[in-house]
Amino acid sequence: MIYDFKDLQQTAENRWQARYEGNYGTYTVKIEFDQNGRRKNFSCTCPSDGYPCKHIGYLQEEIKAQSKKNEEKQKKNELTVEDILQNVSLEELRAFVVKKAKFNNDLTKAITLEFAEKLKKSNSKTVGNIYKPLMEADLRDIEFDLEDEDNYYNECAEVDVSILGEWFDKAEAFVNQQKYDDALQVCKAVIEEYAEWYEAADGDTRDYVANDFQDDFFDLLKKMAENEQIDKQSLYEYCKQEQVKEKYFSDARDLFNDLMSKLANSVNPEDFIAAQKGLLKQIADKSSYEAAKIVRRLYDFYLSDNQNDKADEIVEQNTQIESFCKLAVEKRIAEKRYDEAKNLIFKFLETHTNTGTKDWNEYLLKIAQKENDVPTIRKIAFEFIEQNFDKKHFAIYKSAFSADEWNSEFEKLYSHYDKQGKSWFNSYNSNVPDLLVAENLTEQLIEYINSHLTAEIMEHYYSNFAEKYPEKTLKMFRNAVDFYAEKNVGEKYYGYVCNLLKLIRKIRGGDTLVLQMIENYRIAYKRRTKMMELLNKL
């Protein structure tokens, strides 16, 4: 099959990328393989909800096809680069590369990326971080024009900064080779130069570039921070001095502070704590997201430093922050201080009227169960299942009624769900059959499904009664699938029909029925070529 790829290129040993002409514009598709040829990482800028999307598979097939062509060339004894270079002197090769690099920017980048560290040993002109001017040049070459037709009509357009991925591979390779000084220099060069490039970029570029490219480099620095060969004091001071510079946005400053928290234990814990408390003082709203990040950083630091009492203090001092209020509530529940836990919950909800109540109701329900507060259990559990049935809260709700009480309550709940299903916007509601399944009312379940029969409903619920009532199940399944096949045309619908036929086969007597249905479909839908192909595979 021919796919609409363009600019297919191998950007590293195991990394490929291409652009794909899709229905909603041009997508950038990237794949990285591990050493065994298995797919390791991938990304695509298309709007599909599928994971992975179809374009990842398309690119894999395209790569396989290209690899096959290369293998065929080798089998035909065509000259390879290796064959030619065996007869070329070092001087000739160097002269050729220098000449070609003058007119080939990609070749220049590849050479500098591969051999830049050699400059430290051979070139007396290199001072400081040798990677910074190289990184600056690479970023300067990045172009993005919103007025370009490919970008203007493409909802998924993005600025291509894939060069950073190649720099990351370089830094990671240095770490694996235990060349930590080079790895540190690469990470610092990318972090500093990318911040300056982003700060100077125009509005269009900023809007169409992802802002998380530095994350991988900070993660690598965190990994290095665990190694005793790293000068942790120097790296800590670097973070402290760098993060205050205006070129860094809040996200980057957070990354610096998170890295400092990894270093502080063995460097200067008092300085780190004071710095975080200083940042917190500058924030007026102590319940804000910005404040929460700093408080969480302090809390995690105290835990990592085995200062559990200090971590507890952080929790108690910051119950205005939702995550910390939850920790305080959980602690009180564990210590059976139920009234205090409830007071904390009510106080938080009173001052945070826009927050969701689901998690807090879970806490209140747990407390009510421990206190055997039946009215509260009934009230809160019903709120959980009022709109959407779920087994967990249904079981809790039912447990709050005696056997005699439940008969009446079940009828009320059934009527409530049934009324929902008959509303004008919802002709079918799964709450009723889910309720009948939970109560093991098989015959009522069959009757209800038969009166709301669709292929989807049968697929979801047939297993609850197929073994006990195989003939009824087969009849219902046949009616549902026949109706679906009649009303839906297209390959994906035919595929669904085939999947349903496979399910029918699992039911006692299903093989015979499936053969009959296939024969009927061959007659009724003989012009549906794709459907016939799929049925033949069954």
Residue 479 domain-assigned? yes
Residue 452 domain-assigned? yes
pLDDT at 124: 46
Looking at 43, 59, 87, the residue that finishes a domain is 87
- The token pair that represents 504 in the structure block: 């029918």
**Rounded mean pLDDT, 471-482:** 97
Given strand 25-33, what is the order of strands in its sheet? 5-12, 15-22, 25-33, 39-44
Looking at 58, 87, 116, the residue that finishes a domain is 87
Same domain, 38 and 165: no
Same domain, 116 and 210: yes
- The token pair that represents 95 in the structure block: 């002269």
Same domain, 52 and 122: no
Residues 498 and 57: their CA atoms lie apart, in Å, by 23
Q: For the chain, give the mean pLDDT.
A: 88
Residues 217 and 190: their CA atoms lie apart, in Å, by 8
Same domain, 10 and 141: no
- Per the structure, how many domains does the chain have? 3
CB 388 within 8 A of CB 406: no
Which residues are registered as beta bridge partners of 22? Answer: 25
Judge residue 438's burial from the number of C-beta atoms within 10 Å of its C-beta, 0-12 exposed, 13-18 middle, 19 or more buried. Answer: middle
Same domain, 33 and 155: no
- The token pair that represents 465 in the structure block: 């009664």
Residue 146 domain-assigned? yes
Residue 137 domain-assigned? yes
Determine the structural domain holding residue 121 and report its residue range.
91-243
Residue 426 domain-assigned? no
Nearest to 296 by CA among 281, 267, 318, 274: 318
pLDDT of 286-331, one tens digit each? 999 999 999 999 999 999 999 999 999 999 999 999 999 999 999 9
Same domain, 48 and 103: no
At how many degrees (to 10) do helices 529-537 and 491-505 cross? 30
pLDDT of 216-259, one tens digit each? 899 999 999 998 889 999 999 999 999 999 999 888 999 999 99
Same domain, 99 and 179: yes
- The token pair that represents 29 in the structure block: 């598709």
Name the one residue in this structure whose structure tokens are 């296939």.
518
Top-ranked range on mean pLDDT: pick from 31-35, 368-372, 527-531: 368-372
Those residues whose C-beta lies under 8 Å from the C-beta of residue 278, and which sit 6 or more positions away, are none
pLDDT at 77: 62
pLDDT at 128: 63
Same domain, 120 and 205: yes
**Rounded mean pLDDT, 502-530:** 95
Residues 348 and 325: their CA atoms lie apart, in Å, by 8
Same domain, 160 and 57: no
Q: Is the pLDDT of residue 399 over 60?
A: yes
pLDDT of 410-446, one tens digit each? 999 999 999 887 654 445 568 999 999 999 999 999 9
Looking at 185, 214, 243, the residue that finishes a domain is 243
Among 80-89, 154-163, 471-480, 512-521, which stretch is predicted with the lowest mean pLDDT? 154-163
Residue 390 domain-assigned? no
Same domain, 56 and 108: no
Residues 106 and 1: their CA atoms lie apart, in Å, by 30
Residues 124 and 219: their CA atoms lie apart, in Å, by 32
HEC string of 94-163 equals HHHHHHHHCCCHHHHHHHHHHHHHHHHHHCCCCCCCCHHHHHHHHHHCCCCCCCCHHHHCCCCCCCCCCH
Same domain, 201 and 168: yes
Residue 381 domain-assigned? no
Same domain, 45 and 111: no
Residue 207 domain-assigned? yes
CB 420 within 8 A of CB 428: no
